[in-house]
Amino acid sequence: MNVFFETNKGLMRENNEDSLIVKEFDNYCLYAVADGMGGHNAGEVASSIAIEEIRNFFDESMKKGNFKPPLFIIESVNLSNDKIREESFNKEGCCGMGTTITMAVIDKLNKIIYIGNIGDSRAYLLRNNELKQITTDHTYVNELMKDGKITAQEAKTHPKRNVITRALGSEEFVHADIFEMELFENDILLLCTDGLTTHVSDDNMLEIIKEYGASESVQKLIKQANDNGGTDNITIIIVDNIIRGETYDR
């Protein structure tokens, strides 16, 4: 398994409010992207808190043993949410801050992927030349689409297309969607913030990954997003289950 990742502030933002985790142990791997929101630097604070809390809890859980990925996702989300809200109430300039989170826990021994998400950062799985979105966006326009009130094409230009309906820090209790699937040889897992998906279509993402492979696709996808406007921070993690390679800890 090989992992490639990068975060980029894009062309329009003064700072990068995205954060990420790439963490690997013998039997379990953790990957996550977070897209912060809030005034001044509060979004950056929120995403950093979420990533730090999840990383630390993962380390602690690995040391204790008896690790259960779905329970880990639930408990790490609760810890992150509590910490973000605590900082929001107690620190000037952080009121109302929040962040998306999309994480993947891979059980290498049993070949299972567990995905947890809150917000509109996404997880995709590329299998048999088909790129499938695993997560569901927690956004106002997605709710409208599910109710049949607007089309997918109308959602792309809707004035409230950036309104998030679920985020860490937004409520006292926040529920994460959790997905479980088998991991097959040659699968490619993609986690990304909406700085990518706003400017690069699913079809275009698939074309780039197929043409350049996992090792070069992160850079190519970021370039494509920036060439198409680069209005937001862009964070990408690609996990390639073809080649054994270096492991990273970030």
| Spatial separation of the C-alpha atoms in residues 126 and 14, rounded to whole Å | 33
Q: How far is CA 234 from CA 58, 156, 222, in A?
A: 24, 18, 7
Range of the domain at 73: 2-240
Going by C-alpha positions, the residue among 99, 104, 170, 166 that lies closest to residue 137 is: 166
What is the model's pLDDT at position 242? 78
**What CATH number does the domain containing 23 carry?**
3.60.40.10
What is the model's pLDDT at position 39? 66
In a domain? residue 246? no
Q: How far is CA 45 from CA 183, 200, 236, in A?
A: 33, 27, 19
| Spatial separation of the C-alpha atoms in residues 235 and 227, rounded to whole Å | 15
In a domain? residue 245? no
Burial 182-214 (b: 16+ CB within 10 A, else e): ebeeebbbbbbbbbbbbbbeeeebbebbeeebb
Looking at the whole model, is its pTM more than 0.85?
yes
In a domain? residue 248? no
* Cα Rg, the chain, nearest whole Å: 17
In a domain? residue 250? no
Going by C-alpha positions, the residue among 188, 187, 221 that lies closest to residue 207 is: 221
In a domain? residue 95? yes
In a domain? residue 249? no
How many structural domains is the chain composed of? 1
In a domain? residue 37? yes
In a domain? residue 126? yes
pLDDT tens-digit profile, the chain (250 residues) = 899 999 999 999 989 999 999 999 989 999 999 999 986 679 999 999 999 999 999 999 999 988 999 999 999 999 999 999 999 999 888 999 999 999 999 999 999 999 999 999 999 999 999 999 999 999 988 888 888 888 877 877 787 777 899 999 999 999 999 999 999 999 999 999 999 999 999 999 999 999 999 999 999 999 999 999 999 999 999 999 974 444 434 3
Hey, is 115 helix, strand or coil? strand
